Amino acid sequence: MKQVFVTGGSGFVGQNLIPMLIEQGYTVKALARSAQAIQKVEKLGATAIKGDLNDAQRLAQGVKDCETVFHLAASVDFFASEKDLRKLHVEATELLLSAAKNAGVHKFVYLSAASVIMNGRPIVHADESFVSDNIIDGYSRTKLQAENLVLQANTRHFQTVALRPPLIWGKGDPNVLPAIIDAIKKGQMQFINGGNHRLVTCHVTNVCHALMLADQKDQSGKTYFLTDGETPVFKDFIQSYVGTQGVSIPDKTVSLAAAKRIAAVMEFVWKTFRLKGHPPLYKGLVNTLGLEFITNDKRARQELGYKTFVTIEEGLNSMRK
C-alpha cells in the first residue's frame, strides 16, 4: 500500500484530494497546524502530523516512509506581504524538498498556479514556454520562485512535477465564492470592462485527478497548465457560479483604466496607513479578474493523460444540489 504525505490537507484542494487518494488505496499522512485542521484531515481518513511548514522536524516526521509528497499548502492572497508569502511559499518549499530527498521520497508533486505568467496584459493560449516579464503581485512571484526550486530539484531518483491550475472552483470553495458574495452584499462588485473577457478555470476535482496522474505517470522536471478545457466569458461564469447559491450580481461595470487607477490609490492608502484586511480593489485583483487569461493544457493532456473529468456545467449542477 503506497504511503504519501500531503501539505495543505485541510484546505480546499486537500479536502478533495485526500478522499480520492484513500479510495485508490493510498495511505495518507497530512500536515496539520491547528486542532481544527487535525480534526479535518483525520475525518477524511488521513493520519495527522501536527506542525507547520517551517518546522523541519515535523516535516521529516511527515515524509518518513512516504513514496510521494503532494505539496498543496499556500496562501492564495494577491495582496499579502511578499515577505510573509516568501516564508510560506519559498522557504517552506525549500525545507520540504530537503526533507523529502533525505527521506528517499520518489516523487514530489507541487501545486503551483497559472498566475505565475500574468503580466498585467491579456494573455491568450499561452503554453508552458510563456514567461512573464512583469509579475505584479507577491503571491505569483513567490509561487514561481517555489516552482523553480521544485523543478531544479528534479533527478532520476527524486522526480518533481509542478501543476499550474488557474481559478480553482467547486463545491466548498472557501476563497473566491465567499469573497464575491461578500463584495455583492457590500455593493462593491462591478465587472471590469463589462466582464466580457474570457478566462480558463479548473474544477477542484479536475485538479485532484491531475495531481494523482502527476504521481502515477513517469514524467518529471516539468510544469503543466491545467484547465477545464473551456474558455467561458468571465461575466457568464461568475454569474452562474454565485447563482448556484441563489445570489445575483448587479449589472454594474467600470472601465479597465478606471479600475487600475482606483486599485492603485486604494493599495497606496491601505499600505501607507497599514489598514487591516484588503481594499475593495487592488492591482492583483484587477490583474486576475479583469483581463483575458487563457492557457493551453495540451502538454498535460498528452504527457499525463489528463482530461476534463468534470465539465463546467456538471460542476455548477453539483453545487445546486
Annotated catalytic residues are 139
* 177, 212 Cβ separation under 8 angstroms: no
Residue among 289, 55, 48 at smallest CA distance from 179: 289
At 55 the three-state DSSP class reads coil
Task: Report d(CA 42, CA 22) in Å as an integer.
Answer: 12
Ranges of beta strands (E only) in 67-122 are 68-71, 107-111
* DSSP letter (8 states) at residue 193: G
Ramachandran region of residue 155, left (φ > 0), alpha (ψ -120 to 50) or beta?
A: beta
The contacts of residue 320 (CB under 8 Å, 6+ apart) are: 244
Place of cell 480593489: 281
**Residue 48 phi, psi (nearest 5):** -80, 135
Ranges of beta strands (E only) in 165-245 are 167-169, 191-192, 201-203, 222-225
